[in-house]
Structure 1
Amino acid sequence: MSKKSVWVSLAMGLALGFVGGCTSGAEESATDTPQAANVAAKAAPTGARPRPPISPTVYKVPVQGSPVAGPEDALVTLVEFSDYECPFCARGHNTVKQLQQRYGNRLRVVMKHHPLAMHPRARPAALAAMAAGAQGKFWEMHDVLFANAKALGEEDLERHAQSVGLDMVRWNSDRNDPRLAEQIRQDEALAMKLGATGTPAFFVNGRFISGAQPLEVFTGVVDEELAKAEALLKTGVQPSEVYARIIEGGREEGASAKAQQRELPTQKVEVGNAPSRGAADAPVTVVAFSDFECPFCARAVPTLKALEEEYAGKLRVAFKHQPLAQHPNAQTAAAASMAAHEQGKFWEFHDVLFANQRKLDRASLEDYAEQVGLDVAKFKAALDSHKHDAHVAADAAEATRVGATGTPTFFINGRPVVGARPIDHFRRIIDEELKKAGR
């Protein structure tokens, strides 16, 4: 299979997941989510599965205390939870700008901050924007930050602040104001409460849109909400009261990770030709769908090792690949691990990759190959030929089929565990399965 064909297959598989975004490392779920449907839309052939409609469910999303662009009496309010270091948020920002141009005073945009743990400069950038807001220049700074998402170092932030004409002494002082930090924490807590664990997340008159969806997805929802708002006006509701009236009966909480996990059914997940450790006839098998660049996957590694020691002879662990679109080196790292597997060194290479997640470029992978004692020339040839890409793509497609839309996701004798859960959570399920097996 050619490299192009492999990526088309992978994109089509991931298209069944969520769309363009980064995912929070909240302790409750501790997962990353694949966000590649916007890529897949370009790669998938005509006749691919259409995008599902946006749910009509309305959430109660307060706007008080947040930066607002647009009039209070706008008929549609779009609340955005975003992260200045998230590339999908920058894409979503461009869509919001198009919506503002298209709908004018009929649209109000509210910005709330959700800086993710995987983005070390997202929180300082959020504080920089809020401090600019103290001088009436939040939106100017907001636009500059998204236009320079890869330049958010301290010197960069100061340069951006100067470019929008801020009083630098006041700006530097305001960045340390604990009230701004508290506002960001409140935004984060609200995002998690609403189930918006990834960025960007949008609520259009309370209706949830996850990720950097195409413009037409947003316009479809905005147009629907405009029609509803105009119907309310005919009943005597004032324009400034429309948003409050629409969300007053809305849900205050989104589905928790536990609830989402309950919705994921037991699946038949075969080990197949996946790298595995433990006896093939072990009464309990754990199949992990994972991504070498996902920080939550790395967090789960010591948990699995501890379980293997604790349940020696009773537990088999298999590894399957789900490289997420937001992780630029994950696909190559996955293929590299299979090149190591070809030489009988998968698990040694696996451990080195997870210990060096921030250095997964091609040169580093070759260094790791030498470090674990591989035939480096053979390893390089395997990567150059893309011979393992089909295996990785097949794993990712299987992940989609069984509902493993985030990493890490584990199946313990087919029973799902979503995220880097505490070890006792795994023990409970393993013990139940051993009891079933009479062990």
Structure 2
Amino acid sequence: MGQPVLGILTLYLNDRGLMEEKPIYERMTTAGKNLGLDIFVFTPADVNYAQNRINAHMYDTTTKSWSRKWRSFPHMIYDRCRIQKSHRFVQLSHFRKKYGHLTFLNRVLRNKWTVYKTLNREEKFRPHLPLTRYYDGQSDLTELIRKYPLVYLKPINGTGGRGILRIEKEQSGSYLIQGRDQSRRIVSPQRVGLTGIHNRLAKWNLRENHYLVQQGIQLKLANGRVHDYRMLVQKNRSGEWEVTGCAGRIGPSGSITSNLHGGGQAVKMKTLLNDWIKNEELAASVKQKAEELGVDIAAHLERSYGRLCELALDLAIDRKGQIWLLEVNPKPSREVFIQAGERETYRRAIIRPLEYAAWLYEQKVQRKDKAKAAAESLTRRDARDDTRDVTRDDTRDDSWNEFMDEFEERS
């Protein structure tokens, strides 16, 4: 079947053709070359639908430069497209629908609410899921505020810490509201009474903007900064789920999230977890359980939604060592590992989707070869059967002739 071709599907960030993650694609193209993969990058806007051709972005690993070239469709597609509120995302939806029959390394994962419901149906995952409600009215928020001292509000399709609000009940009985707007800017903290919460949040249009209300987990360090963990689970070169790495994230002062794009910093998981739990033996056990949970979640979501090749899990771990799944990210970045000083993990994070693509292609070749061999075997068997039929027909003809000769002699 020739050299396997992998197309990386992405979106332009604006109408001037600015492309996200270009340095990552350069590293992937270089690594893919060593694996025998021919890699190019494209967006839905680069597709000629009439001719089924792609005006691809090609990276030359020798000259370290980009160029454009018309290409046929690749054998496999690695979808790196994140949600945008733009016409470009409409183009993406059309592309996915028209070419959904092609081989994708990763199918589309559903929104946060659907993923939560999918996992919550499984008894083994429930202890790790903070109670979550879809915001359909004030009563949904009131229910959780009365039940928990800490509550988060987050958009159903949000990424990067955008549009998240945190409501914490203080000892005085008032509620502290903090957050980040859709541009990741920190919202000025405000204290209100229970009855004032809904008035304060009215401008956020929680129902129209499809928000979730989630039980909060207390994750403030001694310095007042929040922290969590980013775990990357990927398919390996054998097509099996495996934890590539897990790093800690610490938010900046005054922030309710730990996202790196929002100014957070990355640290090694072991360092942060030992400092948080203050029990190395328990920390080691928690790490192992978190990795087992990560693999189980990835496998279950793949069974539910179709082929996947990687997922990032945002995890919280409380003081008792209980593991909580905050959310699942289907299009993870890898920078958390390089910032945490884990270069080898960063390298593996880049190469594993490529190794999986090579494995997937080889499986496809083997299936085709087996089908061809089976067809050839069937053809040979049919030919033998035809020969036997001719022989039997000849034998019947001889017997009939002998019978007629004998009959004529008697007559």
Higher relative contact order by CA 8 Å / sep ≥ 6: 1 or 2?
A: 1
Q: Which has the higher strand share?
A: 2
**Could you say whether these structures have the same fold, taking a TM-score greater than 0.5 normalized by the shorter chain as the test?**
no
* TM-score, with structure 1 as normaliser: 0.28
Question: Larger Cα Rg: Structure 1 or Structure 2?
Answer: 2
Q: Which has the higher helix share?
A: 1
